[in-house]
Chain A
Amino acid sequence: MRIARQSFYEATARKRVLGLLDRTSFVEFCPPREQVVSPHLPSLGMPVAFDDGVVVGEGTIDGRRVLIAAQEGGFMGGAVGEVHGAKITGLLERAADTRPAAVILLLDTGGVRLHEANAGLVAMGEIQRAALGARHAGVPVIVAIGGKNGCYGGMSIVARSCDWIVASEEGRLSISGPEVIETVEGIEEFDAQDRALVWRTMGAKHRRLIGEIDALVADDMAAFRAAILGFVGRPRPLDLDALEAEHAMLARRLERFWDCADGMEVWARLGVNDPADVPALDAARFNALLGAVSERSR
């Protein structure tokens, strides 16, 4: 019997956690019944969520103990408020103390919750520091992106400060969102309504081709689980050599692609024979293509 595919994209944060971890292994910290909610939203006349839009806790994946956070993209676009941020920070600080096999962050967010202003911005800095603290303690931090909101704003910086990123084609990763770029730089610079352009410049395939994410998977819970599992227990080096190598890579990239106006031009330069075909490839065919494009060129 063929088991129906379970979409990661369509699942709520809670369903994602339950779908990735071993059955009945999940224990939630600050669960909804404790009602640890935003202290800021009621004063703006806005409804709160009992989990402030993020699920955090502990469980096992293939028998290995992990800590996990999942942002609920349906609540205020997964934006990070004070409590939301504190829950993720606390989880990462716990990782530095208890040394699980990994911390898994399921990000689905536009970034800071602007309603909470400075509290949200401070939270972002705290999350970043705690993520690096967990890594310094030798705990790998694995990010998964595959929800409606992609991963934008401060959380995109957090994501790129972690060890590994897994994403589905539906995932997007960028600091400024399409509308922000269009508003600031003009429609000649970036047309936010051009969804194909958005995916060619911020989408997971582009990010995978230029080496900013580490695995591209189909929108399937089992595929996400398998890819995440492949990174559990595998921290990347966090030292000066690694940082300098990253800086050198960024300098080379700028030199090589600075004049490209579109992802397709970048892919052509990387040695992709038919860059126009890339957006239509499914995950398996895309990954086959990726293997053919030499590692040296990226």
Chain B
Amino acid sequence: MALLEIKNLKMDFGAGADALRAVDGVSLTIGASETVCLVGESGCGKSVTALSIARLVATPPANYVGGEILLNGQDTLKMSNGELQKIRGGVVSYVFQDPGASLNPVFRIGNQIKESLKLHRPLTRPSATLSPAGGEGRGEGVRVLKNVITDYDTEVIRLLKLVGIPAPESRIRNYPFEMSGGMQQRVMIAMALASEPKLLVADEPTTALDVTIQAQILDLLSELKRRLGMAILLITHNLGIVGDMADRVAVMYAGQIVELSPARELLRRPLHPYTKALINSVPKLAGGASRLSAIPGNVPRIGNFPPGCRFAPRCPIAKPECSEKIPELLEVEPGRFVRCPFWK
């Protein structure tokens, strides 16, 4: 059983005649300890897909009209609020784009990390006898056995050390505004790790940071993944980081996945015309002074998608029949899925 299995997810913003389809039939699986990248331009639905895993999109305005999201085999779309609160942090943790905005400005960072600990890993007194581990997690798919902690402060310091924050003993009393952006993002990661999740969703974790800090944060994520063995869903619009991080890549366009493929093969030989165009538009240092190739046209607005293949109006190889019927996402080679009949 895969850790996460999104099946044919359909989500609208609004309801009835005004409904705008933001996510249209997205299917994606993530295995334990796997890193999957979700790539796409702004507004293509990648963030709302990721937020939907723990149902963090407010309903209304959002409206789930179809599909299921199986996390550890349980459908989060059918969960009660209590069950959702358990899996938020407990199974899936989030790291967001702008650490400055994601940390509450008026609380000390130690306090905020402790909040997660108290919730998901309540203190076990050294004197208390532990119940046998076999009793835990049985029958209930969402419960996960956590490492035992006896002291919150020590654990917070351990977590801050883990994410590479120097002098964590004094940093614990800092307010978010007393730290740099890179340090803040490390705190966010520490906070996400505090609850020992199985899946870490990183929603453009480096977009708001300097380039040098970006590399540090990505290295940190790879290293943590190796040490802790958790799965990562990395959302990005930057194809440059895909090769270093991802096992598999899903490329989204206008609410749909257009290509899903192992990362190396996708970068070496993209199949979908949109993926090809994306890779071509990454500026290269080598290769002379040729003009930066951009994809002509604009991303279609949500609710205003063209009929048939949504990329057809901007596609260099589009044929008249492309605008008639939405192509299926088909497995054209082992492990490689493409939503384009003319990929060859």
The yes or no verdict on A and B being binding partners is: no
